[in-house]
Structure formats: C-alpha cells, structure tokens
C-alpha cells in the first residue's frame, strides 16, 4: 500500500496536480488541529447562548463557520437537537460521510459495515451496545449523512450545570454524544 | 470502545490528504468521491470491522484517477514496483528515494 501511495504521489506531483508541502499541511491539520473539541465548543455555546442555539438550528453551516470551523468539501451542516422526547443518531450508510470540521475524522466503528447497516434498522439495539438504554417513550431519529449534508447532534445539557460557563461545559461534550451514540457526561459531584 | 490514532500508518494519511487536495483543485467533486468510496467499502470481501477502510480509500482514489486518465493503473503499477525496489536498495535509516531504484530511469 505504501508503495502505491508513493507511486500515485510521484505521478501527481510530476503533473503539477498536488504540492507535497500542501499535503503535509493537510495531514497536520487532521492529525492535530481538528477534532471533537471543535464540536464541543459549538454545543457548549448553544447551551449557554439561546441566540446562538437558534442560529445553529436555522443555519448550522454559518453558525459553525462563525467559530472558524469551515468545511473543506463545501458540505452543509445541520444541527439536530436532542430533547426530552427525541434522541438523534447519525450514520452514513453510503460510506463514511462525517462532520470533519467539528468532529475530526470518524472512529473506526463509524466506518465499519455493522454500524452503517444496523444504525438504521435497529438504532435502539446499536445504542444499547454503546451502553445507552433510552426510555421506550423516547423517539430515536436516525440521520443518514451524505457528501453534501452532514449532521451534528446537540446533546441535552446535563442537569446540575446551571452556573457553568461554556468552557467548563465543553468538557462534558463527548465525541459520541455529538454522533448520538452517547450522552453528554454528567457533572462530577463536588 | 477505545480511541485509535487518526491514521494507523503514514501512507493512510498521505492517501487521505492527496484526496482532499485533489478535490480542492477540482479534479473531482466530493459527491463523486463519496460514490467511489462507497463502491469500495460495499464491495464483497470488505472487512466487517472496517479495518481495511484506507485500503478501500486508496482503491477508490486510484479508480477515480485512472478514469480521468491522470494516473493510469499501469503507470502506478510500474512506479510502485520501482518504489519497492528503491526501498530494498536503500540502507536502513536513510530516506527512500526513487533514484535509488537499481533499475532507474523514471525521470
């Protein structure tokens, strides 16, 4: 595999289609700079600022871009908000479309066939495997990502965090809670 | 489930970044890319645990570039073999360079 990648790179550089320095920059961005911390900032801001939450609901692409997180693939973002009666879960049945700008690159299980096929057919079963059992009256909505539209789940703000600021709240927002396979962490009792 | 590093091996990062760069140059649309990748990850024989994801990724990239006559498969085969020979001919600890291919003649 490594030799084939080098071969492709050699050809593309010779043809002037890629610049090796630009490739290194992209690798660095995805290895070290983008990740679920970006998404956690978006969620915590929505929890603390109702105006921002409203904007995020109406135009997630712009609301997220306002924090400096812009997509490289021209994709649109939609934020789906968990509530007392609905839990949201994101999958890409096609391949592995994922909101890179806010979550980084997807975990292995997100890309694996079992999750991609079962999240739609049996979302509750999948959630239970993640240790998340929802009350039967709670609806589960599954969102299937595409190359053009990616979803970010906004988990519910945990109880007991009334006086917390956004920075502290962001610590409670896990990657899985923004895919929908988990909830935000509960505050640890002081 | 434990978190894994973003890329398991350096070539995965290179293949990923080349795809992003080629898309930004307009060589293919992201929808075309998603379709190509989908074909590979849904092909019979794809690993159930997604462990061959970047193998699928690379095949999808090679297919798109071959279709666009930007990197014909035969050229990639030849150059990959040259890189392999260069790797074997390069003393351990030194960067591998295509010039080290004992059969040479690539430029």
Concerning whether A92 is annotated as a catalytic residue, the answer is: yes
Q: What is the pLDDT of residues A131-149, one digit of tens each?
A: 999 999 999 999 999 888 9
The question of whether A145 is a catalytic residue gets the answer no
Q: How far is CA B92 from CA A82, B80, B87, B95, B103, in A?
A: 54, 19, 9, 8, 19
**Partner-chain residue, chosen from A23, A109, A111, that has the shortest CB–CB distance to B1:** A109
Distance CA A173, CA A180 (A): 11
Helix A20-28 with A2-14: angle, nearest 10 deg: 130
Which residue blocks in chain A are alpha helix, DSSP H?
A: 2-14, 20-28, 36-48, 50-58, 60-65, 100-103, 108-111, 113-121, 123-129, 166-170, 175-179
Say if residue A69's pLDDT is above 50. Answer: yes
Whether A75 has a pLDDT exceeding 50, the answer reads yes
> What are chain A's domains?
1-33 (no CATH), 35-179 (3.90.330.10)
* ipTM entry: 0.86
* pLDDT one-digit tens code per residue, B8-44: 889 999 999 999 999 999 999 999 999 999 999 888 8
In chain B, where the domains are located: 10-100
Facing A31 at nearest CB: one of B7, B21, B29: B7
For residue B58, which of A1, A100, A96, A16 has the smallest C-alpha distance?
A: A1
Is A66 annotated as catalytic?
Answer: no
Cα separation, A37 vs A75, in Å, equals 20
Min Cα–Cα distance to chain B from A51, Å = 32
Q: What are the b/e assignments for A74-102, b being 16+ CB within 10 Å?
A: ebebbbbbbeeeebbbbbbbbbbbbbbbb
pLDDT tens-digit readout, A156-173: 999 999 999 999 999 999
Instruction: Give A-chain residues touching B14 at CB under 8 angstroms.
Output: 5-6, 9, 23, 27
- Could A109 and B50 be called an inter-chain contact, meaning their C-beta atoms sit closer than 8 Å? yes
Considering only residues 47 to 86 of chain B, which have any Cβ-Cβ distance to chain A shorter than 8 Å? Answer: 47-51, 53-55, 58, 61-62, 65, 70-71, 75-84
């Amino acid at each position: 595999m490594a030799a084939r990648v080098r071969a492709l790179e050699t050809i593309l550089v010779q043809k002037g289609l890629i610049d090796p320095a630009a490739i290194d920059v992209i690798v660095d961005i995805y290895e070290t700079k983008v990740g679920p911390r970006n998404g956690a900032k978006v969620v915590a801001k929505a929890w603390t600022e109702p105006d921002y939450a409203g904007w995020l609901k109406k135009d997630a692409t712009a609301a997220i871009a306002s924090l400096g997180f812009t997509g490289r693939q021209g994709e649109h973002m939609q934020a789906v908000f968990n509530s007392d009666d609905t839990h949201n879960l994101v999958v890409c049945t096609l391949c592995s479309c994922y909101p890179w700008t806010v979550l980084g690159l997807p975990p292995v299980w997100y890309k694996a066939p079992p999750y991609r096929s079962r999240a739609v057919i049996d979302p509750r079963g999948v959630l239970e495997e993640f240790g998340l059992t929802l009350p039967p009256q709670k609806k589960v909505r599954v969102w299937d990502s595409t190359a053009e539209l990616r979803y970010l789940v906004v988990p519910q703000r945990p109880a007991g965090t009334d006086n917390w600021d956004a920075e502290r709240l962001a610590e409670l927002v896990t990657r899985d809670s923004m895919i929908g396979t988990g909830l935000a962490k509960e505050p640890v009792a002081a | 489930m434990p978190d894994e590093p973003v890329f398991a091996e350096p070539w995965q990062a290179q293949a990923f970044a080349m795809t992003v760069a080629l898309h930004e140059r307009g060589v293919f649309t992201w929808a075309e890319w998603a379709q190509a990748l989908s074909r590979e990850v849904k092909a019979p024989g794809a690993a159930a645990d997604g462990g061959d994801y970047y193998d699928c990724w690379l095949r999808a990239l090679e297919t798109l570039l071959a279709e666009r006559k930007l990197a014909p498969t035969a050229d990639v085969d030849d150059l990959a073999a040259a890189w392999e020979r260069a790797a074997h001919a390069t003393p351990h600890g030194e960067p591998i360079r295509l010039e080290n291919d004992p059969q040479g003649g690539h430029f």
